[in-house]
């Protein structure tokens, strides 16, 4: 079967909008550009639905009625059968609860792939999860840490767990500073200021407390540094986002700490920055770190979970202990005081993003996996 004949059904019924949802949408678009026929099931009213409407992809939406929704099962079962779907690929573990029954009957020849974007501390080896995961043909892990975690906690054989990292569009995140001055003017940031930035949903675990505290220390001692926080509230957790903003306001940061709110396109905001900081307490992958590196930004991040697989300490950035404002501030000051070091780290980060996290490589590996699973399932 030629590549152009494949019909890939991508599924991600999450209402949130973060790395998992972004990658699911981007992968669907990249597969479409490779000649695949792509259909996508997204949660009704989600940001994923909104973003997918910009692409030439067949879009299905469905409101959720719990884990096991008979109407959704029936709809998906009929769609797979009617549209000759060759493979189903979901990015949200909860979707398995309707996908597995939908793949019964006349759809047993269709492989099912799950991408795990986050790990878990809970064992999934009970009887019910064993039944669900018996139908999963492959689990893609976006980091080696998650690959290990899945093998330890899920009822799947090790050879079914494949490592394929997330990628960024290097044509978009091209290292050019397009939009830099426009963003700075819109927030009244001087053109010669040093801008330290963070991108991420407004949640405490993203390290916003330490980022704000670090900003307070630098604002007190330097007049040339501004701070830019790009991100909005997580659905259902607006109070937490408000608390973070109120905390920053309570420190009276002299107008040099800016919340931009949620941005669909973060590229110009990254272009406006000179140093990217990501002090998260836990992060399975951290797609925004790759985006920052692709934009040739030096990075200061916490040494946690999958981050060391992205940021090479001393080569593309600096890694520090989480939940420690003192060491975070020291690392930021050290780089701000060394423009040559920042430039070298940024240049090395761009090279690493191109070599390791480019979409061309990731799509190629994904398609190889698809073809292997389709042929394997047809011989059963």
Question: Does residue 286 surpass a pLDDT of 60?
Answer: yes
Q: C-alpha distances in angstroms, 25 versus 10, 17, 97, 143, 264?
A: 9, 10, 21, 19, 13
Question: Does residue 64 surpass a pLDDT of 80?
Answer: no
Question: In this predicted structure, which of 82-86, 117-121, 196-200, 218-222 has the lowest mean pLDDT?
Answer: 117-121
* pLDDT score recorded for residue 1: 40
* pLDDT score recorded for residue 3: 44
Nearest to 10 by CA among 161, 166, 114, 127: 114
Q: C-alpha distances in angstroms, 328 versus 243, 308, 366?
A: 22, 16, 37
Q: C-alpha distances in angstroms, 142 versus 23, 74, 130, 193, 259?
A: 10, 30, 22, 36, 29
For residue 148, what is the enclosing H or E element? Answer: helix 144-153
- Sequence-ordered list of residues with C-beta below 8 angstroms from that of 340, at least 6 positions apart, any chain: none
Q: What average pLDDT does range 256-263 have in this prediction?
A: 96
Q: To the nearest whole percent, how much of the chain has pLDDT over 70?
A: 98
How many other C-beta atoms can be found within 10 angstroms of the C-beta atom of residue 83? Answer: 13
The pair of three-digit structure tokens given for residue 134, joined into one six-digit string: 């018996």
- Report the C-alpha gap between 257 and 320 in whole angstroms: 22
- Sequence-ordered list of residues with C-beta below 8 angstroms from that of 54, at least 6 positions apart, any chain: none
pTM of the model: 0.86
Q: With beta carbons less than 8 A apart as the criterion, state whether 42 and 10 touch.
A: no
- Report the C-alpha gap between 324 and 330 in whole angstroms: 10
- Report the C-alpha gap between 287 and 206 in whole angstroms: 13
How many other C-beta atoms can be found within 10 angstroms of the C-beta atom of residue 319? Answer: 19
Question: In this predicted structure, which of 197-211, 228-242, 247-261, 324-338 has the lowest mean pLDDT?
Answer: 228-242
Q: Please tell me the number of Cα atoms within 13 Å of 232 on its side-chain side.
A: 12
* pLDDT score recorded for residue 5: 73
Domain 3-167+358-378 superfamily per CATH: Glycogen Phosphorylase B; (3.40.50.2000)
pLDDT band at 66 (very low <50, low <70, confident <90, very high): low
* pLDDT score recorded for residue 69: 82
The pair of three-digit structure tokens given for residue 337, joined into one six-digit string: 């005081």
* pLDDT score recorded for residue 373: 97
The owner of tokens 């593309």 is: 316
The CATH architecture of the domain made up of 180-356 is 3-Layer(aba) Sandwich (3.40)
Dihedral, 353, 204, 331, 177 alpha carbons, nearest 10: 40
Q: How far is CA 80 from the centre of its chain?
A: 27
* pLDDT score recorded for residue 358: 92
* pLDDT score recorded for residue 19: 86
- Sequence-ordered list of residues with C-beta below 8 angstroms from that of 104, at least 6 positions apart, any chain: 77
Question: Does residue 54 surpass a pLDDT of 70?
Answer: yes
Q: What average pLDDT does range 240-257 have in this prediction?
A: 96
Bridge partners (DSSP) listed for residue 163: 141
The pair of three-digit structure tokens given for residue 39, joined into one six-digit string: 């259909």
Average pLDDT, whole number, for the chain? 94
Nearest to 64 by CA among 96, 24, 20, 95: 95
The pair of three-digit structure tokens given for residue 263, joined into one six-digit string: 């941005």
Q: Residues 343-367: pLDDT tens digits?
A: 999 999 999 999 999 999 999 999 9
* pLDDT score recorded for residue 236: 81
Q: What average pLDDT does range 316-327 have in this prediction?
A: 97
DSSP 8-state symbol, 338: -
Q: What average pLDDT does range 22-35 have in this prediction?
A: 94
pLDDT band at 2 (very low <50, low <70, confident <90, very high): very low
Q: Give domain limits for the chain.
A: 3-167+358-378, 180-356
Q: What average pLDDT does range 108-114 have in this prediction?
A: 97
Is 180-356 the same fold as 3-167+358-378?
A: yes
Q: With beta carbons less than 8 A apart as the criterion, state whether 239 and 327 touch.
A: no
Q: Residues 266-276: pLDDT tens digits?
A: 999 999 999 99
């Amino acid at each position: 079967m030629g590549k152009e004949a494949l019909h890939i059904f991508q599924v991600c019924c999450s209402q949130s909008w973060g790395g998992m949802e972004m990658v699911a949408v981007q992968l669907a678009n990249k597969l479409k550009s490779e000649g695949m026929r792509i259909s996508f099931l997204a949660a009704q009213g989600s940001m994923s639905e909104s973003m997918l409407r910009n692409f030439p992809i067949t879009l299905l939406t469905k409101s959720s009625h719990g884990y096991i929704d008979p109407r959704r099962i029936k709809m998906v079962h009929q769609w797979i059968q009617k549209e000759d779907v060759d493979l189903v690929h979901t990015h949200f573990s909860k979707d398995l609860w309707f996908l597995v029954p939908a793949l019964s009957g006349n759809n047993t020849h269709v492989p099912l792939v799950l991408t795990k974007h986050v790990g878990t501390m809970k064992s999934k080896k009970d009887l019910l999860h064993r039944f669900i995961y018996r139908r999963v043909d492959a689990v893609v892990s976006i980091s080696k840490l998650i690959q290990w975690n899945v093998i330890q906690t899920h009822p799947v054989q090790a050879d079914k767990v494949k490592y394929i990292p997330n990628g960024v569009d290097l044509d978009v995140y091209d290292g050019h500073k397009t939009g830099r001055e426009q963003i700075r003017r819109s927030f009244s940031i001087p053109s010669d200021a040093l801008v330290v930035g963070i991108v991420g949903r407004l949640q405490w675990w993203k390290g916003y407390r330490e980022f704000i505290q670090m900003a307070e220390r630098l604002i007190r001692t330097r007049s040339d540094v501004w701070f830019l926080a790009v991100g909005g509230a997580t659905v259902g957790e607006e109070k937490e986002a408000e608390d973070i903003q109120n905390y920053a306001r309570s420190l009276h940061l002299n107008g040099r700490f800016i919340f931009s709110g949620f941005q669909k396109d973060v590229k110009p905001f990254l272009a406006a920055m000179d140093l990217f900081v990501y002090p998260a307490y836990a992060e399975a992958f951290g797609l925004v770190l790759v985006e920052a590196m692709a934009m040739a930004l030096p990075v200061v991040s916490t040494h946690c979970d999958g981050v060391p697989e992205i940021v090479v300490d001393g080569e593309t950035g600096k890694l520090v202990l989480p939940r420690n404002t003192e060491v975070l501030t020291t690392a930021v000051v050290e780089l701000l005081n060394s423009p040559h070091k920042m430039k070298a780290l940024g240049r090395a980060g761009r090279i690493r993003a191109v070599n390791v996290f480019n979409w061309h490589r990731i799509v190629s590996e994904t398609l190889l996996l698809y073809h292997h699973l389709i042929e394997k399932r047809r011989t059963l």
